[in-house]
Structure 1
């Protein structure tokens, strides 16, 4: 899985060149997501710069690119529409603080609970989302100011330049890997369009189309350094009530997407990122965004794939991307404004092809139907609704499937020993999902006077299992029979109440494992 790219460590040259490539690809994404959130384009560009710089410098995953993202932009729309951009900045600050607390309390480790089918669904879903996002570049404004699909020569020019971009990206690495193929493709297509004066839509054309009619003539991506400013909102409980729900959702969506992207890059590069450190990095970056006029963001899987594909492995790649983006904004806006959209779309199409786990179609034939269902479910929800919702639903469904399958694995072999005692040799886990089946195993009324329950091949997983054993002991006691419990851990003995007196201790043979419980905390 995820073996599309070479996992070798990068170097300064690769990181710098890769960073330049990523900076070019960040521009239209940042502008597009700013419009989605209902804020000015510069707010999105500032977010891409600050998120990329800070997370690359102090985050837990070298080589991962962060910036303004669609997953977070859609959450911001209602707050901006109802209360204005200053409340958004306050929400981003609060979201950042929440993310920092996630890292401080080491909660990033829980990303390991995401099952393999959910991860596959996440990757495939995001690949589809990235592809669908590029289709918007095929729309243009007509004379009536309405959006319509490209037709005729405009469409053919777009498709031809996209094909040329993709061809360069695929062919150039077979000739040389000294320069990232994506960077060469963007520069080559831009020069071709410029010197041949081809009628191709550029980045500035896209920005103009997104703006109101009275602002299109003055549209520009030139800007100044972001400046510090405390969000201009009343410091009151009412303000907290307004921004807190959005802040919580932003923090969770940002962390889920970032940590899953981190896991994906770990797999691709055969390295190990630090989830808790990334939580802190994302939190600091979002907090700074709120104070410096950015819309915040999280890890960007598309740009991260471009970076890895172009040879970027170290922190310098992300830092370079951020600094080059800032340099464009401050000094060279006309250069990025003239880049054909087709070149950037072509790069993203290559990312889609490389990101989608095509082996899923073969894997589905070999896995059980439950895993296949989870894979399709997560992919579908990622496309239709939201990444965070998709992952949470996938984890819950996977957990329920796991519990259901293991609920039927608890069984017992029975025999009568030399003393006439009936011995139940349990097999399988005893937890909330299997307690009903566990109770049906025993024949309290017809069992002999002495009954042995042997946990040598079984294990109690949770408090439901403890409670089930206590209740069983109570039943045997009510009919005057003696219960003997063997091979149970010391931790379980502490938690047992009614059944505790029946436990036979064997120091050499009794297992030792921990049971998560406040009683033992």
Structure 2
């Protein structure tokens, strides 16, 4: 369970160097998401450390990076603003417990049901969100404390350093893959900025811009080890009143965290041609979030941007994520003054390359193709991801895809008719009988024109839900009122038990009847 190296293409050098690169990119993101959630920057940094360490050690996807994320941060804002950070810690613990339960009851497998267009929309939407998030680095504060876009020399320097970073990341692997290109790019740009005394915004400038004027002078990323403490909401940690306050936020945090983590897991599976364990990842995310709540972290989930940096830099094993977490802690404890000197342009350049690598350019083929339904779902999920959030986007995408599927398959039910040797008319059904195809099913039969004996043959069809059962009952009632005898062949025993009026018309063929379940609440 605690194997640090999991694949033959994973090795200590690649994992360690990749982990260092990821740790550098985690710092500004963790700080930014802490401000989004309305908590102290150290709460975000602690979350990035604990999420990364625990999920890398016990999660289900080696090479995936977890930390404080924007998707989780925006859910926390209202709770922190209304009730305070202690309630947030309690909510994160509860969210972790819910995620552990999802893993224990093996609910992670349902992420495999997310359709491909929804997956593409998720990836493209997150790529756009990552890109838009970097735009904030091109803004500075004026003398009045208002944010405005960079202009003149400052803008040109920023663009030049970003372009240099991207160029190194693009061209260095063509020369050598001995070290991660992203790490070389960050170190090179940092050396140029401070060696040539170039005026460029650094990580500490970013932190100072978000703090009140009185705190700017003493701003630092230096901190201590996170310490254990039971959250202390005003209404009591274990009280029903506290549960009433935190439950809605905890449920949303659990869902958002699992959806983003499991979709990121699926993406990395595809990129690395390996298979992660979804249920184990649910447990890993849950344990990490629960620990966060007890050690003063804001919680989090998988980070697609940092995960892509890790994979692209050669990180494949658990050691890469563990290294990133440990190095991040070392930054907080010992190397904060050095990290504060890193130019933001270098980190923006790294993230821009992540955007280019994350965006699924092949999706344009779907948009140009003949399948308008898939194109619509892809655009819808991408748009909702950017405008709202990931969880809503995926839920909407799955629902729309399911409705499109139902609509397309509703008309797929048809029947071949023939007269057998006894003069009976046989309807040989082909296609699913469910809520969407019920009207088409009814139109197949000519009750007034059919002979005295009619056979409905389900050998090439099946009944999916209670709507299909009710439609068959209704049809049997029509034939009975017309004084004709109906014969129903080859349906499952469960279908027979659910039928009401049509039950007496079923011919039981013990060795030939299929066995399948029907989606219905009538059995409860």
Please give the range of the TM-score, normalised by the shorter of the 2 chains: over 0.9
CA distance in 2, matches of 1:414, 1:343: 71
CA distance in 2, matches of 1:462, 1:8: 47
Residue 447 of structure 2: which of 444, 447, 470 is its match? 444
Shift of residue 8, structure 1, vs aligned partner = 7.1
Name the counterpart of 1:464.
467
SS at match of 1:451: strand
1:104-253 map, 5 Å:
104-233=104-233, 234-235=235-236, 236-253=239-256
Shift of residue 470, structure 1, vs aligned partner = 1.9
Shift of residue 516, structure 1, vs aligned partner = 4.4
Report which stretch shifted further, 508-517 or 201-210: 508-517
The answer as to whether partners of 2:139 and 2:150 remain within 8 angstroms in 1 is yes
CA distance in 1, matches of 2:403, 2:446: 29
CA distance in 2, matches of 1:455, 1:377: 38
CA distance in 2, matches of 1:508, 1:84: 65
SS at match of 2:102: helix
Name the counterpart of 2:332.
329
Residue 318 of structure 1: which of 318, 321, 324 is its match? 321
The answer as to whether partners of 1:8 and 1:269 remain within 8 angstroms in 2 is no
CA distance in 2, matches of 1:116, 1:507: 39
CA distance in 2, matches of 1:481, 1:8: 69
Q: Tell me, yes or no, if structure 1 residue 363 matches structure 2 residue 343.
A: no
Name the counterpart of 2:55.
55
CA distance in 1, matches of 2:174, 2:134: 27
CA distance in 1, matches of 2:280, 2:346: 35
Name the counterpart of 1:394.
397
Name the counterpart of 2:388.
385
The answer as to whether partners of 1:15 and 1:317 remain within 8 angstroms in 2 is yes
Name the counterpart of 1:423.
426
CA distance in 1, matches of 2:102, 2:89: 20
Name the counterpart of 1:282.
285
Shift of residue 412, structure 1, vs aligned partner = 1.4
Name the counterpart of 1:101.
101
Report which stretch shifted further, 427-436 or 15-24: 427-436
CA distance in 2, matches of 1:116, 1:357: 12
SS at match of 1:21: helix
The answer as to whether partners of 2:366 and 2:374 remain within 8 angstroms in 1 is no
Q: Tell me, yes or no, if structure 1 residue 263 matches structure 2 residue 266.
A: yes
1:406-421 map, 5 Å:
406-421=409-424
Report which stretch shifted further, 413-422 or 330-339: 413-422
Name the counterpart of 1:21.
21
The answer as to whether partners of 1:489 and 1:511 remain within 8 angstroms in 2 is yes
Query: Over the residues paired in the alignment, what is the CA RMSD in angstroms?
Result: 1.4
SS at match of 1:332: helix
Unaligned segments of structure 1, at least 5 residues: 1-6
SS at match of 2:378: helix
Shift of residue 511, structure 1, vs aligned partner = 2.6
CA distance in 2, matches of 1:451, 1:105: 46
TM, length-normalised to structure 1? 0.97
Name the counterpart of 1:3.
none
CA distance in 1, matches of 2:370, 2:346: 39
Name the counterpart of 1:351.
354
Unaligned segments of structure 2, at least 5 residues: 1-6
1:9-48 map, 5 Å:
9-48=9-48
Shift of residue 517, structure 1, vs aligned partner = 5.0
CA distance in 2, matches of 1:91, 1:367: 46
CA distance in 2, matches of 1:519, 1:159: 64
The answer as to whether partners of 2:491 and 2:513 remain within 8 angstroms in 1 is yes
CA distance in 2, matches of 1:269, 1:367: 30
Shift of residue 487, structure 1, vs aligned partner = 2.1
CA distance in 1, matches of 2:520, 2:444: 26
